């Protein structure tokens, strides 16, 4: 699984403080720690409270680039902040994210092409989040068509079927799994699929148990990538075991160690 580390996010107090006090060491330590824990990519989000998001994104990406060349997922809904992040992060970045309505796709698909980036597209449009899997697949199809039209190949698209907290809407985890399966027949080669995993357990009890159980289910449905807390060792162990059981990684007695090598 392609693991996107979620911790560099201004929603976390330590990150918010680091942004406010311009403390690059705290951010750099968090970047390194997540990469050591198995992150293939780092999500970068200035958080809702940033006074000047454009400036904050520039500062964050520069601070991270001083210690690693790992791919970054620039996490913002604002096109100017996105462009700034992509510029500083370099090619191979991820745009996190666009919604599925046309006016958004018109902005973010060309950005992905221009910056040689992968585009995460949420199955949300002007009507909000669809009630079921069919509605999600419809938006995904629109996204794939828009991408192909502008020359963004499907493998550089990641469809995020938008998981919601299980204590808010219990049918959604099932709808999202169905969407992950359906997305794979939209094109050949198909787009990738991604989840912002931790949302499934927002404001619930036993969050880690819910997270890792749902991740295993989503992987079995064909999930390619997830934005996760890579520092949750049990979560990552469950992910690795799933990769082995799904025959995506070759078994060895020390399979956890091998995967992390």
Cis before 172? omega within 30? no
Task: Please state the closest distance from residue 13 (CB atom) to another protein, in A.
Answer: 36
Nearer to another protein, 46 or 240 (CB): 240
- Residue 151 in the binding site for another protein (CB under 8 A): no
Task: Please state the closest distance from residue 77 (CB atom) to another protein, in A.
Answer: 30
**Scanning residues 191 to 250, which ones bind another protein (CB under 8 A)?**
249-250
Task: Please state the closest distance from residue 75 (CB atom) to another protein, in A.
Answer: 24
- Residue 254 in the binding site for another protein (CB under 8 A): yes
Nearer to another protein, 150 or 260 (CB): 260
Scanning 103-111, 116-124, 225-233, 253-261 for contacts with another protein by CB under 8 A, the matching segment is 253-261
- Residue 251 in the binding site for another protein (CB under 8 A): yes
- Residue 253 in the binding site for another protein (CB under 8 A): yes
Nearer to another protein, 30 or 239 (CB): 239
- Residue 91 in the binding site for another protein (CB under 8 A): no
């Amino acid at each position: 699984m392609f693991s996107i580390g979620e911790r560099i996010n201004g929603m976390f107090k330590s990150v918010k403080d680091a942004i406010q006090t311009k403390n690059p060491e705290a951010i750099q330590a968090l970047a390194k720690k997540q990469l050591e824990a198995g992150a293939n990519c780092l999500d970068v989000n200035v958080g809702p409270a940033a006074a000047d998001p454009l400036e904050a994104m520039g500062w964050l990406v520069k601070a991270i680039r001083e210690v690693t060349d790992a791919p970054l997922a620039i996490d913002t809904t604002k096109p100017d902040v996105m462009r700034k992040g992509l510029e500083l992060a370099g090619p191979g970045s991820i745009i996190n994210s666009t919604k599925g309505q046309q006016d958004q796709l018109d902005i973010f698909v060309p950005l992905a092409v221009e910056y040689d980036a992968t585009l995460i597209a949420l199955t949300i449009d002007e009507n909000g989040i669809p009630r079921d899997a069919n509605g999600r697949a419809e938006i995904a199809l629109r996204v794939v068509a828009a991408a192909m039209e502008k020359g963004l190949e499907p493998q550089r698209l990641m469809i995020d079927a938008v998981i919601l907290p299980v204590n808010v809407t219990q049918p959604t985890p099932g709808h999202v799994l169905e969407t992950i399966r359906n997305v794979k027949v939209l094109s050949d080669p198909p787009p990738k699929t991604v989840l912002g995993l931790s949302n499934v357990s927002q404001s619930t009890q036993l969050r880690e148990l819910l997270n890792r159980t749902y991740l295993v289910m989503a992987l079995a449905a064909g999930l390619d990538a997830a934005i996760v807390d890579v520092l949750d060792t049990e979560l990552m162990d469950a992910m690795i075991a799933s990769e082995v059981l799904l025959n995506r990684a070759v078994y060895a007695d020390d399979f956890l160690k091998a995967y992390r090598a």
